[in-house]
Amino acid sequence: MNPYTHIKKQDRQVYAALEGEEARQAEGLELIPSENYVSLAVREANFSILTNKYSEGYPGKRYYGGQKYTDIVENIARERAKKLFGAQYANVQTLGGANANIAMYFALLQPGDTVLGMDLSHGGHLTHGHPVTYLTKIFKFVRYKMKDADTGEIDYDEMRAVALREKPKIVLAGFSAYPRELDYAQFVSIARSVGAYAVMDIAHIAGLIAGHAVKNPFDYGFDIMTSTTHKTLRGPRGGLILTRESEELAKKIDRMVFPGLQGGPHMNNIAAKAVAFGEALKPSFKMYVKQILKNAKAMEGVFKAANIRLITGGTDNHLLLADVFGSMGITGKEAESVLDEVGITLNKNAIADDMRGPMDPSGIRFGTPAITTRGFKEKESARVAELMVETLHKRTDQKALKKIHVEVKSLCKRFPIPKSFA
């Protein structure tokens, strides 16, 4: 089925780009750990008739008329999100993970207040307080790091000392490139010791939490969780804010999302979230996320056998971070480029205390959500890792690279992108 028949007739330039991207995704292996494939049902919801409708406000309290069906859809999304994560309240209107974090900050903080978050070079996210973001002009961010990059152990003693000294209003857990599981009890203990909110950015591991493959921070007393709805959750690109039990906090967040920071929500996207949340509630989703972890471990084994240094020494989740510059003398940018040549997509990434710049760092970041969606198991995942290592070793051998690309295409043909999830 060609979903672009009308675009083909009306706009050949855009059609050509869409067709090109369809082919790229079909014929290549997606290893960027923040990307995944959605079902056709999610795609249909995302380009549905709801794209025409303004729905400023919340169900039962809209500013425009004609909201019968928008209220139904948003309530479905909220109830399914609450069930997935064990939350009392859910806001499904945020347009992305960054938006969710920004709304959370403005709901809980006053200008000048302090946030304790993970250092970007040790696995944190831009919105956790990197100096390039505008957030740092409004709030004060202090950071914690790993004690040992080869084990991934967080320096919780230093983190507690920083909290006692700086008195943050938010102690923020969560990451963008950290392959291990955090000690949630430590975070909550540190937050409570200074009267701070305990917040977890679960964007990367939301699906793993929803599928009970890793621990749920709410079980340890976190107040709020922010998230994207894509990545391991396998939904449309969007954001989500969950409140464990405080109605007061939930009201503050709702008021900050709208009217504080956003106008009318994208109801087509909320419908797609509702469909994706419904898929994540199925028993098959639990099997899927557990396979993500198995596949990541299979890839870990290959890189260790090849003596390529893995930051934190391996992985407990869906992603891995490899120091290719230190291990092989190739920069992250060069590795990303040559792997792209053979149809393997991942991203260059800084490693802990990287001496190289962010646009040409020492590491690469890759993960298993998308290939697991295609049906890869441990055997195929290990083979992908072997092909990655071979590509990096033979990066100047065009004949070898062409041979690897043929095998990548063959794997993709054997495991096509599924249209639906059982």
**What does the alpha-carbon distance between residue 246 and residue 232 come to, in Å, rounded to a whole number?**
27
Question: Are residues 88 and 71 part of one domain?
Answer: yes
- Is 26 inside a domain boundary? no
The tally of domains found in the chain comes to 2
CATH of the domain at 316: 3.90.1150.10
CATH of the domain at 173: 3.40.640.10
Question: Are residues 297 and 259 part of one domain?
Answer: no
Q: Among the options 160, 234, 237, 395, which is catalytic?
A: 237
Q: Among the options 56, 153, 183, 360, which is catalytic?
A: 56
- Is 174 inside a domain boundary? yes
- Is 4 inside a domain boundary? no
Question: Are residues 307 and 260 part of one domain?
Answer: no
pLDDT of residue 121: 83
Domain region containing 269:
44-280
Of the residues 280, 304, 338, the one at which a domain ends: 280
- Is 332 inside a domain boundary? yes
pTM for this model (two decimals): 0.96
Q: pLDDT tens across 226-275, in order?
A: 999 999 999 999 999 999 999 999 999 999 999 999 999 999 999 999 99
pLDDT of residue 130: 83
Q: pLDDT tens across 387-403, in order?
A: 999 999 999 999 999 99
pLDDT of residue 1: 56
Q: Among the options 70, 94, 228, 312, which is catalytic?
A: 228
Question: Are residues 408 and 259 part of one domain?
Answer: no
Q: Among the options 74, 119, 201, 300, which is catalytic?
A: 201
Question: Are residues 325 and 276 part of one domain?
Answer: no
- Is 31 inside a domain boundary? no
- Is 32 inside a domain boundary? no
Question: Are residues 359 and 241 part of one domain?
Answer: no
pLDDT of residue 181: 95
pLDDT of residue 365: 97
Question: Are residues 313 and 248 part of one domain?
Answer: no
Active site residue 228: yes
Q: Among the options 4, 15, 54, 69, which is catalytic?
A: 54
pLDDT of residue 170: 98
**What does the alpha-carbon distance between residue 331 and residue 236 come to, in Å, rounded to a whole number?**
32
Q: Three-state SS string across the chain, please?
A: CCCCHHHHHHCHHHHHHHHHHHHHHHHCEECCCCCCCCCHHHHHHHCCHHHHCCCCEECCEECCCCCHHHHHHHHHHHHHHHHHHCCCEEECCCCCHHHHHHHHHHHHCCCCCEEEEECHHHCCCHHHCCCCCHHHHCCEEEEECEEECCCCEECHHHHHHHHHHHCCCEEEEECCCCCCCCCHHHHHHHHHHCCCEEEEECCCCHHHHHCCCCCCHHHHCCCEEEEECCHHHCCCCCEEEEECCCHHHHHHHHHHHHHHHCCCCCHHHHHHHHHHHHHHCCHHHHHHHHHHHHHHHHHHHHHHHCCCCEHHHCCCCCEEEEEHHHHHCCCHHHHHHHHHHCCEECEEECCCCCCCCCCCCCEEEEECHHHHHCCCCHHHHHHHHHHHHHHHHCCCCHHHHHHHHHHHHHHHHHCCCCCCCC
Q: Among the options 180, 231, 309, 365, which is catalytic?
A: 231
Q: What is the pLDDT along the chain (422 residues), one digit of tens a residue?
A: 577 999 999 999 999 999 999 999 999 999 999 999 999 999 999 999 999 999 999 999 999 999 999 999 999 999 999 999 999 999 999 999 999 999 999 999 999 999 999 988 888 888 888 888 999 999 999 999 999 999 999 999 999 999 999 999 999 999 989 999 999 999 999 999 999 999 999 999 999 999 999 999 999 999 999 999 999 999 999 999 999 999 999 999 999 999 999 999 999 999 999 999 999 999 999 999 999 999 999 999 999 999 999 999 999 999 999 999 999 999 999 999 999 999 999 999 999 989 998 899 999 999 999 999 999 999 999 999 999 999 999 999 999 999 999 999 999 999 999 999 96
- Is 3 inside a domain boundary? no
Active site residue 183: no
Active site residue 237: yes
Using alpha carbons, select from 217, 252, 267 the residue that is nearest to residue 93. 267
CB 390, CB 362: distance < 8 Å:
no
Question: Are residues 289 and 249 part of one domain?
Answer: no
**Residue set of the binding site:** 120, 124-126, 247
Cα 264 to chain centroid distance, Å, stands at 24
The one-letter amino acid code at 392 reads L
Of the residues 246, 280, 314, the one at which a domain ends: 280
Question: Are residues 311 and 226 part of one domain?
Answer: no
Question: Are residues 106 and 231 part of one domain?
Answer: yes
Question: Are residues 400 and 253 part of one domain?
Answer: no
**Residue set of the binding site for (6S)-5,6,7,8-tetrahydrofolate:** 120, 124-126, 247
pLDDT of residue 120: 84
Active site residue 56: yes
Question: Are residues 369 and 307 part of one domain?
Answer: yes
**What does the alpha-carbon distance between residue 20 and residue 211 come to, in Å, rounded to a whole number?**
33
pLDDT of residue 131: 86
The average confidence (pLDDT) of the chain is 96
Of the residues 250, 265, 280, the one at which a domain ends: 280
Active site residue 78: no
Whole-number Cα distances in Å, 43 to 31, 173, 239, 274, 276? 21, 31, 16, 12, 10
- Is 21 inside a domain boundary? no
